[in-house]
Amino acid sequence: MKLTGQQLIGNSESADSDDTFPSINPASGGGLETIFHEATKAEVDRAALLADSVFSEFRDRLAEGRADFIEAICEETLALGDDFLERASAETGHPIARCTMERDRAVNQARMFANVIREGSWADARIDLPDSSRKPMPKPDVRSVLQPIGPIAVFGASNFPIAISVLGADTISAFAAGCPVIVKGHPAHAGTCELAARAILKAARRTDMPEGVFSLVQGRSVEVGTWLVQHPKIMAGAFTGSLAGGRALLDVAAARPVPIPFYAEMGSVNPVFILPGALKERKEQIAGDLVAAVTLGVGQFCTNPGLVAGIESEEWQDFSKLVAEKVSHFAPATMLHSGIHNAFTSGIAKRNDSEELELLGCSDTEANPAACEAAAYIYQTTQQGLLNEPTLLEELFGPVSTLVDCGGLDDLVAIAEKLDGTLSATVHGSEEDLVTYRPLLKVLQRKAGRLIFNGYPVGIEVCHSIHHGGPYPAASHSFFTSVGTRAIQRFVRPVCYQDWPDSQLPMALQNANPRGVWRLIDGERTREEIQ
C-alpha cells in the first residue's frame, strides 16, 4: 500500500500546506520514504464538519453493522502484512516481534469490542414501569440508555504505534459506541499511522459506512491538535502521552465556550512495595523480574516501575545487590525518537548530580547516543532522600528506577501518601504481610487505578475488567479506562425517555426487547420482554 503523506479526510486526500516533515528512523537518524504534509486549520475543519454530518447516520446503524465494520478493520489490518510491521519497526526502533504483538493486541481488542456491542448490555438499558394508581402522584414510565455523543478526537501514543494509536482502543471504542473519529497521527510514526488509517477507510467502504466516519490528520506542530480539540463539532478527546502534552490539551478542552471531556492518560511512577515476607521467600526471583520489568521495551511503558520501596534488613541489602548486578547485563537499545532520548538523557544527568541519590548499578555497555540508545540505571536513596528530591516522584520515561530504603511501615505509608495519582501500585508479600501492612494498602487504594499483588505492572491484560487509568496526573479522569471494554463509556452519555411511545424508543428500551439484551427493569436484571 503506497504512502502519500497527505491528510485522509473521509475518502479524499488533501495536502493544502507546503509545510512538510519527514519520518525518521531513530536507530540511524535517517529519513524514511515519504514526506508528510502538515495539516492546515481548513483541513481540520473539513474533517470535523464531515464527521459531524454523518454522526446521525452512523449512530443509527444497528450494533451488528458497527460490529461488522470493526471486524473488517481487523481483517484489513492483518492484510497489510509485513509492510505494516516493518514500517512500524523502522519508525520506532521496536523489534518486529514487538510490532507483531502490538498488531495482534489491537486486533484482539477490536474483536472484543465487536462482541460487546453485539451482546448489548454495555448500553446499560434501564426501565422503571409506570404506576397510574400510585398516590399522591402517578408514577411515570421512565427509561434510559447510554447513547453516543458525537465526533471524537484521538491522539496516538508515541510508545505504542499500533495498539494505542490509529487502531487503538480509543478509536475502536468510539466506533463501537457509534461515534465518528478523527485521529491526529503521531509525527514520530506518521507512516504507520497512514497505513493503519487506510486499513480503516478500506473497511469502512467494504461495510458501507458513511464517508466521514473516519479521518486522519498529520502534523508536528501543537496547532494541529489544538485546532482539533477546539473545533465545536468535536465532542470529546482521548490522549495517551506526557503530562505536559495531556495537560495542555485538557486545558484547551476546558477553555472552549462549551467545554468537552478530554480523557488523557499521562505520567505515572507505578511504585512497587516489597514487603519482608516476599524477600525471605524469593528475593532473587523478584530482583530478576523487577529488572526485566524496568528494562522491557527500553523502559518505554507508561506502567514502568519507577520507584521500589522496601524495609532495611539483610534481605533488602542482598536484594539491592542482586538488582545492581542484574541491571548491568542490560544491553543499551534504541529509544522511540530523539525527543524521548534527549529527555531521558537529561533526566539521568540530573539524577547523577543529585546529592540524595546513589547510583547503585547500570548497564556495563555504554549507550550510543547517535542511535538514540539508552542504558539502564538503578539508583538508591532513603525515605527522607525521596522526600527531599521531589523529582523522584515524577515519571522519567526510560529504563530507570530507584530503590528506597525505609525504616518500617510508617516510612512506607509516608511514601505512599506523598505519591501523586498513579496508574498502578504493586505489592510483593505474603498473605500475612497484607494483614500487617494493611495501612499501606489503604493508602494505595486511594492513589492507584490498578493494584497488583506479586506481579509487575507492565504487560496490561486487555479484558473486560481491566482499568488503565488513575487519579490525576496518571489520568485526567480517574473514573475511566483507556484499555479494555469499559473504554466505551467515555464516548456515551445517558439519555432518559419519560412516557414515550414504545415505537419511538431506542431498540434496547422497547417492550419487546428485540435484541434480547440484559436490562434493569424495576431494579431487577432480566432479558425478558415487557408484556
Residues labelled catalytic: 265, 302
The answer to whether 129 and 521 have CB atoms below 8 angstroms apart is yes
Question: What is the spatial distance between Cα 446 and Cα 436, in angstroms, rounded to a whole number?
Answer: 19
103-112: buried (b, 16+ CB within 10 Å) or exposed (e) per residue? bebbbebbbb
Nine-digit cell string for 486: 469499559
The answer to whether 236 and 491 have CB atoms below 8 angstroms apart is yes
Question: What is the spatial distance between Cα 411 and Cα 512, in angstroms, rounded to a whole number?
Answer: 60
Nearest to 260 by CA among 217, 228, 223: 228
* Separation in Å, CA 312 to CA 162, 317, 326, 362: 42, 7, 20, 22
Question: What is the spatial distance between Cα 211 and Cα 248, in angstroms, rounded to a whole number?
Answer: 31
The answer to whether 394 and 418 have CB atoms below 8 angstroms apart is no
Nearest to 428 by CA among 269, 276, 268: 276
CA angle 60, 64, 67 (to 5 degrees): 100
Question: What is the spatial distance between Cα 378 and Cα 304, in angstroms, rounded to a whole number?
Answer: 13
Q: Which amino acid appears at position 226 of this protein? A: T
Question: What is the spatial distance between Cα 293 and Cα 325, in angstroms, rounded to a whole number?
Answer: 15
Question: What is the spatial distance between Cα 23 and Cα 421, in angstroms, rounded to a whole number?
Answer: 34
Question: What is the spatial distance between Cα 77 and Cα 198, in angstroms, rounded to a whole number?
Answer: 9
Nine-digit cell string for 41: 486549520
Gyration radius from the chain CA atoms: 25
Q: Across the strands, what pairs with 236?
A: 152
The beta strand positions in 407-481, using DSSP E, are 422-428, 448-453
